[in-house]
Amino acid sequence: MSQNDDEKNSRVVPGTRRGRLGQFGRLAGGLAGGMLSEGARRLAGGERPRMQELLLTPANIGRVADRLSHLRGAAMKLGQMVSMDAGDILPPELSQIMARLRENAHAMPPKQLEAVLAQDWGQGWRRNFRYFNPRPLAAASIGQVHRATTRDGRDLAIKVQYPGVRESINADVDNVATLLRVSGLLPQQLDITPLLSAAKDQLREEADYQREAQQLSAYAKLLQGNDDYIVPGLHEDLTTTNVLAMDFVPGRPIESLEEEPQDVRDAMMERLIDLVLRELFEFRLMQTDPNFANYRVAEDGKRLVLLDFGAARPVSPAISDNYRRLFLAGLAEDQDAIAAAAIEAGFISHHAATAHADSFNTIIRVILAELAKPGPFDFGDRAFVHTIREEGMAMAQDRATWHLPPAEILFVQRKISGTALLAARLKARVDVRAMAEAKLAATSSATST
């Protein structure tokens, strides 16, 4: 790739609040112009379009995705989070925006990268390296990763945070929430203030690379001696609040397993599901971001490389116990106990469960029927999802019963749901029931501690 190609694939990240606000302003202006143009075209054709139809045109969808990708930071991260959390139930228009946001962001131009590293490492930082590739291995929502070799021979992956990300979190989250409100995709009466507050807190944690370094070390200790996983080693001498230095671990995207035999896909997903169960019931520490890019397959094709611990957070005893009760009720195939556990945990309100008892009970029955099938659970068989989606959407039509679960539940469930989506992508077959029974039995002494 030539220098001109690098320039085409990089865009300066707005590093000030004013600059980022200006980007949202340009987005709003572009959307308004697109709505007027589309409205005039449809009126001329004799149509009477609704506001949402004018807003969510293909051209406006492109404008939103492009602008959020340019902003990176919390704006892009929120889009990725929504797309991963609700992949099966998003309106098709929003799904298009989010699918584009899951792709790599534009990288910082070399001059901006130099300035960021000079601020954290000092002007002569290049003297510490034999090699530093200015072209990133990956560019995501909060930072980009570079390959480097130090003078003393360490082969490193260096994660560099985009400028202005930490300072703009509050404004970015509020602006994206406003965008969703205006689009009509969120009802005006739904109070999302607690969720927005939790999202801001988590994003601030993810933007603190010193904190991520601590979580990286914690996971390395928890998984020490386990040959199924690789956690990159931390290099504290080069790690700052905005730069994270760790071992470079060669590997390939976990999605590449789609081309592998069934037993290989099954074995890798079994490792990942086992890790989720350990996080929930044993470690009580969970990496809550299930983005596929956070997992890679090691060169030996057997071990799972774990990356990105910015979203790692403690799992409280109360949340762990709530999931324990829910799992035990499911394993016992006790529909009433499942309903009670789901309400107690906050997944659904008592009002919604009562008002829509038929739909709620249908969802539980469908899930139980799938879990009761003999042999490994076939994640590739998605036929049952249609029924769950239909019943869930029927419940969602009653906006008076809309309910937001506690933020901590949402973060944990995001990891569980994202893991299931990856298993579906790989069409894996895993005996989840046996794994859950074994883990619950092995950790029973931890209950109520």
Q: Rg of the Cα trace of the chain?
A: 23
- Catalytic pick from 227, 289, 358, 381? 289
The H or E element containing residue 110 is helix 110-121
Count of other CB atoms within 10 angstroms of residue 373: 11
- Taking the C-alpha atoms of residue 72 and residue 78, their distance in angstroms, rounded to an integer, is 10
- Taking the C-alpha atoms of residue 335 and residue 321, their distance in angstroms, rounded to an integer, is 18
- Parallel/antiparallel/unpaired status of strands 304-306 and 295-298: antiparallel
- Parallel/antiparallel/unpaired status of strands 304-306 and 229-230: parallel
- Taking the C-alpha atoms of residue 201 and residue 214, their distance in angstroms, rounded to an integer, is 17
Active site residue 289: yes
- Taking the C-alpha atoms of residue 93 and residue 120, their distance in angstroms, rounded to an integer, is 41
Q: Residue 166: which of 231, 104, 232, 240 has the closest Cα?
A: 240
- Taking the C-alpha atoms of residue 311 and residue 205, their distance in angstroms, rounded to an integer, is 7
Q: Where are the beta strands (DSSP E) in 259-400?
A: 285-287, 295-298, 304-306, 312-314, 377-378
Q: Residues near 309 by Cβ (< 8 Å), separated by ≥ 6? A: 212, 215, 216, 219, 287
- Taking the C-alpha atoms of residue 237 and residue 6, their distance in angstroms, rounded to an integer, is 29
- Taking the C-alpha atoms of residue 161 and residue 142, their distance in angstroms, rounded to an integer, is 6
Q: C-alpha angle 63/242/133, rounded to 5°?
A: 80
Bridge-partner residues for 158, per DSSP?
146, 245
Q: Residues near 314 by Cβ (< 8 Å), separated by ≥ 6? A: 284, 285
Q: Which two tokens stand for residue 326?
A: 């829910």
Query: What Å distances lie between residue 312 and 79, 209, 340, 348, 374, CA to CA?
Result: 19, 12, 29, 25, 34
Catalytic positions are 289
